[in-house]
Structure 1
Amino acid sequence: MSWATPLPPPPREWFPSLEVVRIDSGNLRGATAHLQYLPPSNRVRTFEYRSNPIFSSGEAKDLIKTLGDHFNPLYLQTLRMRDISFEPTNRALEDIDLTPLLAFRRLEKIILAFFGGTKGTPKTLSSIPTAWPKLRHLNLRPTNESPSTPDIDHTHLLELAANLPHLRTLRLTFDATEMSVVPATHSLSCTLLWMARLSAIRRV
C-alpha cells in the first residue's frame, strides 16, 4: 500500500486515553501514514518526532499537514519535530507552511528543528500571537547553517515577544545586520544583541 493512500476512518473509541505520542524513526513517511489511525476525538497532548537521518522539506510538510488533519486542537499542547543532523552541507531555509497548525490554540511548546528548517516570514510571525496565545517555547531553528538571508530581523522578534506574554524561550534565525539600532534599554533587545554578537564570534 502506498503511504499516500488514505486509510479508512478509525473507530471513535480507539486510543481513548492516549495523551503522548513519541516516534523515533528514520521513516517519516511511514510515521505520517500511521498517524492517520488517530480518531478525530483523540486527546493527544504531546507529539514528538525524532529522525535520523535527516528528512526532506516535502516530508516535513506532509507531517505538518497530517498533524493538522488528525490531531485534536482542543488538546495538543506540545509539538516537537526534529532530526539529528550531522550533515555539513548547507541548505537554504524552506518556506514550510505552518497554516495547518494555526488552529491549535492550546499549543505551549513548538519545536520544529530540522535540516533546512522552516523559513520564518513576517506574515507567519504576525499570525502567531493570535493563533498560539499560550505559547511559552518556540524554536524554528534549523539544525544546519543556512546560506540564505532570513526574511525577518530583530524588529519582528521584538514585536512577537511583546505580544506573547507567556513566552520564555525563542529560537529563530533572523537577520542581525541592523542590530546596532536596537535601544539598549529593552531587556529583550539586549539579549538579542548578545546573541547576535555571540553568533558573529562563532563564525570568526
Structure 2
Amino acid sequence: MPIEVLNQAFPFFSLFLGPKATHIRFVFNSNFPIQASSIESAANICSALKTLNLKDDAPSASGLAFLGSYLQSSSWANLSSLTIVNLPPESIAHLSTCPQLSNLEVSELKGIRPLHTYSNDDLDDPPAHLATISSSAFQSLERLTLCSNTLKSIEAVIQYLPPCNRLHTLKCLLRPAPGTIGTGARNLLNTIGVHCNSDYLRKLVIKTTSTGYPGYCSREDLEVEVDEGISLGALLDFEQLENLTFNLSTTGVNLNNDDIDNFVEFLPSLMTLKIDTDVYDSRHPLIDHTHVLKLLYGLNDLKKLGLRFNAIQIKGDEEKPGTTGDRAAPLEKFWVGDSPIYSPKSVSKFLEAHCPHLRMGNLISVCLFEEEEGSRRNPLIMYERRWSAVRGLI
C-alpha cells in the first residue's frame, strides 16, 4: 500500500478498537507523525489489552525514542505478553512494574550495556547490590526471549531481574557476524547463575539463529588448545532444569568427561540436552560413545540429545554401564553434529540396543554440500555420508 494511502488510513484504525480489545499487533513507522499519534492513542483506548506486538519500521535511533515514550505512557495493568523490536533502557524499570506481564520478547535488542561483570566467586557469594533490586520487579514474568547481535546486550537485560524471579523459560538468541563471540558467553552464563532462580527455571536456550553466516563458515583460530571450551559450571545449581540448549556457532563447550558426570549428578531432570551440534571445530571430541551411554542410563527422562562425540570405536555389542540404571532413557531425537564415525553398521546396532525409541528421521547430522570435487577430501563429508547410512539401517 502506498505510504500516502496508509497515512490517510491510520487515523481511522482506532474505530476498530475498543476498551474490550485484548490482542493487537501494530506495524508502523513512527517517523510519520500521523502513524505515531495513532499508535499512541491506542494505549488509552484498549484498557483491557493482554497481548501487544509492536513492529516499528523507523530507523533504530528514532524508533527507540518513540518506543521508550510509548511504553511509559500506560500502566499496562492487564498486559500479559509484549513483543517489541528493541528495549529502551529507560523503559525497563517501568515494564518491571507491569503486574501481569508473563511473556516478553525482544527481536533486535541493542544498545544496552551490562551494569556488572560477574565472576565465578559471585555464584557462591551473591553481590550485595542484588538486595537493592525490588523483589516485585517482573513479578509475573515466566518467559523471556532476547535476540541480539551481541551477548552483552542480552546479559544486560537479565541483570534487571531480581534473584527471586519466577522465570520458567529463558531464550538467548544471537545473530552475530563471524568472530564476534569471545568471553561474552562466560559472562552471560555467570549472569544467569546469579540472577535466575533455580527453583523455577526449567528451560534455557542459548544459541545462534539464522544470520547469513552459517556456523560451518565461522573462522577457527589457527592455534587451539585440545581442552579449551566454555564451562557450564554456572548452571549446575539448576537441578530442576528440563531443557538445556547451548549452540553458539563460533564458540563451543567442548564437552569432557566431567561435564557428562555433572549432567547426571546435578541436572537429573533433563529431558532435552543439546550442546555444540552447530559448532565448527576441527578438533576431535573429548567424549565418546561411553559418555553417551552414561547420559542414556543416567538421565531417566532424556528424550532429545544433541552433542559431538567420537563414534569411531563403536563395535555394536556395547553393554550398558554397570553403575547406572537398568532402563535406557526414552530417547526420541538425536543430533550428532559432525561426530566422527567409521562403521555405520556398528553404530546402527549400538543405537538399536540403547535407543529403541529412536527413528530414522530423528537422527540428525550436519548438512554439508559438495560444491566442488575437491571437497570429497574433507572428512566431514564422509562423516555425514556415514551418518546418513546409519539412518537407513535403524
Q: Would you say 1:132 and 2:279 are equivalent positions? A: no
Superposed CA deviations along residues 23-63 of structure 1, whole A, max 9, x for unmatched, are 01113102202211100110000000111115514111111
Query: Shift of the alpha carbon at 1:182?
Result: 4.3
Confirm or deny: 8 A CA contact 1:158 1:189 kept in the other structure: no
Judging changes above 3 Å, is the alpha-carbon distance between structure 1 residues 174 and 189 closer, same or farther for their aligned structure 2 residues?
A: farther
Q: Map residues 31-42 of structure 1 onto 2, 5 A cutoff.
A: 31-42=154-165
Alpha-carbon distance in 2 for matches of 1:51, 1:41 = 26
Judging changes above 3 Å, is the alpha-carbon distance between structure 1 residues 61 and 180 closer, same or farther for their aligned structure 2 residues?
A: same
Question: What residue in structure 2 maps to residue 61 of structure 1?
Answer: 186
Alpha-carbon distance in 1 for matches of 2:113, 2:202 = 31
The one of 22, 31, 34 equivalent to 2:145 is 22
Q: Would you say 1:89 and 2:212 are equivalent positions? A: no
Judging changes above 3 Å, is the alpha-carbon distance between structure 1 residues 12 and 190 closer, same or farther for their aligned structure 2 residues?
A: closer
Judging changes above 3 Å, is the alpha-carbon distance between structure 1 residues 63 and 196 closer, same or farther for their aligned structure 2 residues?
A: closer
Structure 2: which amino acid aligns with 1:45? H
Superposed CA deviations along residues 145-202 of structure 1, whole A, max 9, x for unmatched, are 21001110011111111011100011010111212254336233996xx969997452
Question: What residue in structure 2 maps to residue 10 of structure 1?
Answer: 133
Confirm or deny: 8 A CA contact 2:115 2:159 kept in the other structure: no
Which moved further from structure 2: 86-95 or 155-164? 86-95
Question: What residue in structure 2 maps to residue 107 of structure 1?
Answer: 241
The one of 74, 77, 82 equivalent to 2:199 is 74
Confirm or deny: 8 A CA contact 2:114 2:159 kept in the other structure: no
Alpha-carbon distance in 2 for matches of 1:106, 1:190 = 24
Alpha-carbon distance in 2 for matches of 1:196, 1:19 = 31
The TM-score, its normalising length taken from structure 2, stands at 0.47
Confirm or deny: 8 A CA contact 1:57 1:96 kept in the other structure: no
**Alignment RMSD, CA only?**
2.9
Identity of aligned residues (%): 26
Query: Shift of the alpha carbon at 1:73?
Result: 0.3
Q: What number of residue pairs does the alignment pair up? A: 202
Q: What is the DSSP-based 3-state SS (H/G/I as helix, E as strand, rest coil) of the residue aligned with 2:165? A: coil
Confirm or deny: 8 A CA contact 1:136 1:169 kept in the other structure: yes
The TM-score, its normalising length taken from structure 1, stands at 0.86
Structure 2: which amino acid aligns with 1:86? P
Query: Shift of the alpha carbon at 1:144?
Result: 3.3
Judging changes above 3 Å, is the alpha-carbon distance between structure 1 residues 14 and 2 closer, same or farther for their aligned structure 2 residues?
A: closer
Confirm or deny: 8 A CA contact 2:288 2:310 kept in the other structure: yes
Query: Shift of the alpha carbon at 1:113?
Result: 0.8
Q: What is the DSSP-based 3-state SS (H/G/I as helix, E as strand, rest coil) of the residue aligned with 2:205? A: strand
Q: What is the DSSP-based 3-state SS (H/G/I as helix, E as strand, rest coil) of the residue aligned with 1:176? A: coil
Question: What residue in structure 2 maps to residue 169 of structure 1?
Answer: 304
Structure 1: which amino acid aligns with 2:174? S
Which moved further from structure 2: 57-66 or 147-156? 57-66
Using CA pairs under 8 Å that are at least 6 residues apart, name the structure with larger relative contact order, 1 or 2: 1
Alpha-carbon distance in 1 for matches of 2:267, 2:247 = 18
Structure 2: which amino acid aligns with 1:186? A
Alpha-carbon distance in 2 for matches of 1:145, 1:202 = 14
Structure 2: which amino acid aligns with 1:111? T
* Unaligned stretches of 5+ residues in structure 2: 1-111, 118-128, 319-348, 367-379, 387-394
Question: What residue in structure 1 maps to residue 384 of structure 2?
Answer: 202
